[in-house]
């Protein structure tokens, strides 16, 4: 087992379209524990990701609240995928928001199907899940005063 480098809130980027809004946010990092039940089914629980073994599932969740005195619109929230974590396909979730992805350190974003990287020969190819460096969600709004929300994705420790 090894210590997982926790991605702190300072690395979770909150970009807000003008005018700016007062938002608070917190990030949690948990590991998924899968237990095989006697009947053959699986039970999945989450616990703090203090120690994680390569191959284990990790869940990153960003919870946010509109602390402003007015509803917020056009919020853009971006979460980096740590280098030691490989993104798990289909796990970027939120309420009614479609994520876009980056494979170049957060410089450019596109849908998962359109995300491309250059191979060793300089040719464009579809990005693998291991190429994903950032995930971005846009909340068109309005996010009411005091309203909360959350975003999450899963990965495996490399």
Residue 75 has pLDDT above 70, yes or no: yes
- Mean pLDDT for 59-65 is 93
Rounded to two decimals, the pTM is 0.84
Q: What is the pLDDT of residues 79-109, one digit of tens each?
A: 999 999 999 999 998 777 889 999 999 999 9
Which string of DSSP letters, residue by residue, matches the chain?
-EE-----GGGSEEEEPSSP--EEEEEEEEEEEEEE-TTS-EEEEEEE-SEE-TT-EEEEEEEEEE-SSS-B-SEEEEEE--TTEEEPTT--B-SS---EEESSSSS--B-GGG-EEE-TTS-EEEPPGGG--EEEEEE-S-B-TT-EEEEEEEEEE-
Residue 24 has pLDDT above 80, yes or no: yes
> Can you give the pLDDT at residue 15?
52
Q: Which fold has domain 2-157?
A: Immunoglobulin-like (2.60.40)
């Amino acid at each position: 087992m090894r210590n997982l480098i926790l991605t702190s809130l300072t690395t979770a980027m909150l970009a807000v379209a003008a005018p700016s809004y007062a938002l608070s946010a917190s990030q949690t990092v948990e590991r998924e524990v899968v237990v095989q039940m006697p009947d053959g089914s699986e039970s999945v629980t989450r616990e703090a990701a203090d120690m994680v073994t390569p191959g284990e599932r990790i869940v990153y969740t960003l919870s946010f609240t509109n602390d402003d005195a007015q509803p917020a619109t056009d919020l853009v929230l971006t979460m980096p995928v740590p280098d030691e974590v490989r993104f798990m396909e289909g796990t970027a979730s939120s309420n009614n928001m479609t994520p876009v992805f980056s494979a170049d350190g957060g410089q450019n974003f596109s849908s998962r199907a359109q995300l491309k990287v250059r191979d060793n020969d300089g040719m464009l190819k579809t990005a693998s899940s291991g190429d994903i460096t950032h995930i971005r969600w846009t909340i068109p709004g309005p996010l009411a005063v005091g309203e909360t929300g959350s975003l999450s994705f899963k990965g495996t420790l490399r």
